[in-house]
Each structure stands twice: as C-alpha cells, then as structure tokens.
C-alpha cells in the first residue's frame, strides 16, 4: 500500500522525466511513463488547434480535456492553473484574460516549472507567473482567483478533498472553476490500480464519478455542471502489461468505464449565515 508521500514522489519523478520529452513521445507512452503503446492513447486526444493563444511548444500532450475552452474567462480575470506543466493551459488562459489580467500556474515538479518559465520568458508573457508548490497547499493567498482551471491533474493527487478545499479557499466569492479530470464508473482491476506507470498515466489514481462530484458539493460549491463527458479506452497493448488475456476479457465485459469529464462549479457569492434572529428561518 503506497503512502500519500510515496505516490507524490513517484508522480514527481515521472513528470520530471516527461518535462524533458516532446508531445509525440508522451502521447504514445502512457503519459510519458514508458509503457509503450502502438495505439494512440486517446486519453490525450484532445486538440488545442482551434483555441486562441495555443502554444505548441508548451503542449506536452498530457491533458484529458480542454478546460480553458469552457472556463468562461473574462478580460482582467485572475486565473490559476493547477498542475500547469509546461504552460499550455496557462498561456491560453492568458489570451482570454488579456494584458489586464494575470495567470498563475502551480506545479510541484521543478523541471516543469523551469520549462514553463522559459516558455513564458521567450514570449514576453509578463503577466503569467509559475510557482512551484503542492496544490493541496497552494502558495496563493485566500480569495485571489476569479477562475481556476486544471487539466488531468487531480487524479494524480491522493488527497482530492484537500485540493477542493484549497480551490474554495483561493477562489474569490462568486468565482468558479472548470476542471478536466479522469473518473471511473465501476472498479478497476487491482493490477491496474497498483501500477505506478498507470498512476502516472492518469488512470490508476482516478476515483468514482459520483464520489468526485460529491467531494465538490460537500466543499460548498454550487451550480455544479458536467460540461463534457467522454469515454477513455485503454489499448490492449497497454493492458497486456498488467492483465492476462482472461483478465482483459473480464475487464472489458465488466461494465467498468473510464471517463474524461470537464466539471464547472462556483464558489457562492456569500456564505450562508446562521439563523440568529427569532423568526428568520420561517
């Protein structure tokens, strides 16, 4: 049984390796983890080509959605990108928020931060900042952001409840998030859940869809909406690394589903006040 710190260190090491690779290598290697596939791992199949502000050099092919497409970013907004990688979503958010806004990318892998900062520097993006830190304890003061985005990152974090608490803390009242992530319907086979490569490949750390949505609700968010929902197919040549032929057949027939979802939710404009006057709860 991996501890939370062991899982974090494993992910840090994997994504330090990925930071040195290109998009094509990552797309065919299970999030760059080294479990080579002859099929395109469609968890990475979302195309940014139609989005304004897209910077190919910053796209490592690690996302499972297009959260910035749905994030309703306005000019002048402060946007935080959780797990900002080489800066891809942060730079698209910068295009949306404009020169009067600000984008803060947070990533806990030093190699990713270094690559993102270089990408911003060579383009003169002075209103994009990258901070090294843990998204379970963000290096950001409370009530800072109008919008938070994240792309296929929370599934890598053991303490997802802690991340949603942090998202609530750093969002301004009335602010919102749009997050793309991997969720499950049904139980994955244990060999997949326990495989470090599959964890870094964005699948083994996923939780049940209904549990994920309940975490959002229980942390005080409102207007929870699934903006996009698509199935993820793990190719047989990847499954062969973890399961026997019979286990693969059983897995496919089990009804277990792996999905990429993009979820929107808002922090209320005001906290609910306690009823302290006679008759106020009528």
Q: What local confidence, expressed as pLDDT, does residue 142 receive?
A: 98
**pLDDT greater than 90 at residue 232:** no
**pLDDT greater than 60 at residue 7:** no
| CB-based contact 162:214 (threshold 8 Å) | no
What pTM was estimated for this model as a whole?
Answer: 0.80
Q: Is residue 51 classed as helix, strand or coil in its secondary structure?
A: coil
What whole-number percentage of the chain has pLDDT above 70?
Answer: 76
- Give 31's pLDDT tier (boundaries 50, 70, 90): very low
Average pLDDT, the chain: 82
Comparing 179 with 17, the larger pLDDT belongs to 179
- Give 240's pLDDT tier (boundaries 50, 70, 90): confident
Q: What local confidence, expressed as pLDDT, does residue 203 receive?
A: 65
Q: What local confidence, expressed as pLDDT, does residue 19 receive?
A: 46
Q: Cβ contacts of residue 152 below 8 Å, gap of 6+?
A: 43, 62, 63, 64, 65, 83, 180, 181, 182, 202, 260
**Mean pLDDT value of segment 237-247:** 85
- Give 38's pLDDT tier (boundaries 50, 70, 90): very low
Can you give 18-45 as a three-state secondary structure string?
HCCCCHHHHHCCCCCCCCCCCCCCHHHC
- Give 11's pLDDT tier (boundaries 50, 70, 90): low
d(CA 231, CA 113): 31
- Tell me the H-state helices in the chain: 4-18, 23-27, 67-70, 88-97, 110-122, 160-170, 190-193, 196-200, 209-218, 236-239, 245-253
Read off the pLDDT of residues 159-212 as tens digits, 9 standing for 90 and up. 999 999 999 999 999 999 999 998 988 887 777 766 545 544 556 578 899 999
**pLDDT greater than 70 at residue 28:** no
DSSP structure class, residue 134: B
Q: What local confidence, expressed as pLDDT, does residue 1 receive?
A: 43
* Structural fold of domain 4-266: Rossmann fold (3.40.50)
Q: Cβ contacts of residue 266 below 8 Å, gap of 6+?
A: 174, 175, 176, 221, 222, 223
d(CA 84, CA 90): 7
d(CA 61, CA 113): 16
| CB-based contact 227:70 (threshold 8 Å) | yes
């Amino acid at each position: 049984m991996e501890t939370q710190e062991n899982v974090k260190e494993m992910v840090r090491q994997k994504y330090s390796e990925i930071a040195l690779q290109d998009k094509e290598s990552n797309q065919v290697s299970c999030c760059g983890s080294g479990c080579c596939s002859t099929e395109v791992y469609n968890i990475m199949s979302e195309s940014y080509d139609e989005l304004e502000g897209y910077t190919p050099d910053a796209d490592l092919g690690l996302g499972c959605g297009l959260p910035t497409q749905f994030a309703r970013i306005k000019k002048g907004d402060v946007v935080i990108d959780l797990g900002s990688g080489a800066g891809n979503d942060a730079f698209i958010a910068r295009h949306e928020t404009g020169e009067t806004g600000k984008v803060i990318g947070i990533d806990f892998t030093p190699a990713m931060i270094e690559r993102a900062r270089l990408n911003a520097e060579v383009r003169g993006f002075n209103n994009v900042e990258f901070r090294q830190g843990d998204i379970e304890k963000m290096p950001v003061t409370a009530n800072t952001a109008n919008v938070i985005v994240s792309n296929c990152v929370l599934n890598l974090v053991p303490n997802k409840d802690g991340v949603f608490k942090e998202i609530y803390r750093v969002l301004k009242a009335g602010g919102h998030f749009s997050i793309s992530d991997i969720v499950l319907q049904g139980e994955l086979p244990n060999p997949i859940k326990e495989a470090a490569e599959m964890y870094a490949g964005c699948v083994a750390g996923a939780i049940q869809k209904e549990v994920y949505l309940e975490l959002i609700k229980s942390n005080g968010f409102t207007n929870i909406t699934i903006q996009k929902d698509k199935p993820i197919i793990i190719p047989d040549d990847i499954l062969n690394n973890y399961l026997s032929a019979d286990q693969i057949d059983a897995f496919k027939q089990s009804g277990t589903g792996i999905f990429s979802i993009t979820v929107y939710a808002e922090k209320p404009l005001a906290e609910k006040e306690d009823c302290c006057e006679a008759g106020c709860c009528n």
